Structure 1
């Protein structure tokens, strides 16, 4: 269930590595829930997944924009809907609904398999040989958050001196 298989490859190592990591994070969340791990460990894994989603979607959308991918708007919308679902589950867990954590690991695997097969493989020929930002996702997540704050008129720590 938590294995990234070759048929899911989009032909770009950075993006494939992100996808592999999603499956691994889903496995960690699943094993943490079923292994009776402490709630803080599970919450940390959920929050890490949330940040990872942000960074990966930013990387992928940036690459699609750079090559003029014609279906970017719809792809971006599907990313936003999924990210909203992830955040809702994380928030429900924070508020004490512990059963949602395992739902998230299942959601990630099912959604990711469907999304890669039905959406990501469509851009495969567009980005296979293009330059994709290969910086670690933590940097991309911070950059995406900074951009979001600027677009919505919010101040971030880097703006306060």
Structure 2
């Protein structure tokens, strides 16, 4: 798995959200390194569950920020977050079925989804926020 690269294309202008994005991508990279190194399954599962919890907290924070701006696409954005939550929850259940189910390819997919979401959907919100400002 490629190391996490958090560049300017991922910056939203919200310092807390940007830091959370960076941390999540770092967690994905670290998890990839553990899998590649062949670390025992329980350690990988624990790291994956920690990554899930972190993503869930990030999504909650991001949605609260969007609500503070009366973001009109919040419901759709929340559905996208819920899709990611379902994907990782289902993957976490399958990971317990046997070794190898949490693969580098799976992590690449999650990372690609997350980066695409930031570059498209989160950036759309950031543009809205810059234009409209927080609600009074």
Q: Shorter-chain TM-score category?
A: 0.7 to 0.9
Contact 2:35 2:104 in 1 (8 A): yes
Which of 36, 57, 68 is the equivalent residue of 2:38?
36
Which residue of structure 2 lines up, in the alignment, with residue 79 of structure 1?
A: 81
Which residue of structure 2 lines up, in the alignment, with residue 112 of structure 1?
A: 114
Q: How does 1:84-95 map to 2 (within 5 A)?
A: 84-95=86-97
Give 1:92 shift: 0.7
Give 1:126 shift: 4.2
Which residue of structure 1 lines up, in the alignment, with residue 67 of structure 2?
A: 65
Which residue of structure 2 lines up, in the alignment, with residue 18 of structure 1?
A: 20
1:104 and 1:45 mapped to 2: Cα distance? 14
- Which consecutive residues of structure 1, in runs of 5 or more, have no partner in the other structure? 131-161
Runs of 4+ in structure 1 displaced over 4 angstroms?
126-130
**Structure 1 length as normaliser, TM-score?**
0.75
2:61 and 2:13 mapped to 1: Cα distance? 15
**Structure 2 length as normaliser, TM-score?**
0.88
1:112 and 1:5 mapped to 2: Cα distance? 14
Q: Figure out how many residues of one structure are paired with residues of the other and give that number.
A: 130
Render the CA deviation track for 1:60-117: whole Å, top value 9, x for unaligned: 0011011100100100001101110011111111222523242442122101111011
> How well do the aligned residues superpose, as a CA RMSD in angstroms?
1.6
Render the CA deviation track for 1:31-66: whole Å, top value 9, x for unaligned: 000111111110111000110111000000011011
Give 1:4 shift: 0.9
2:23 and 2:107 mapped to 1: Cα distance? 12
Which residue of structure 2 lines up, in the alignment, with residue 48 of structure 1?
A: 50
- Which consecutive residues of structure 2, in runs of 5 or more, have no partner in the other structure? none
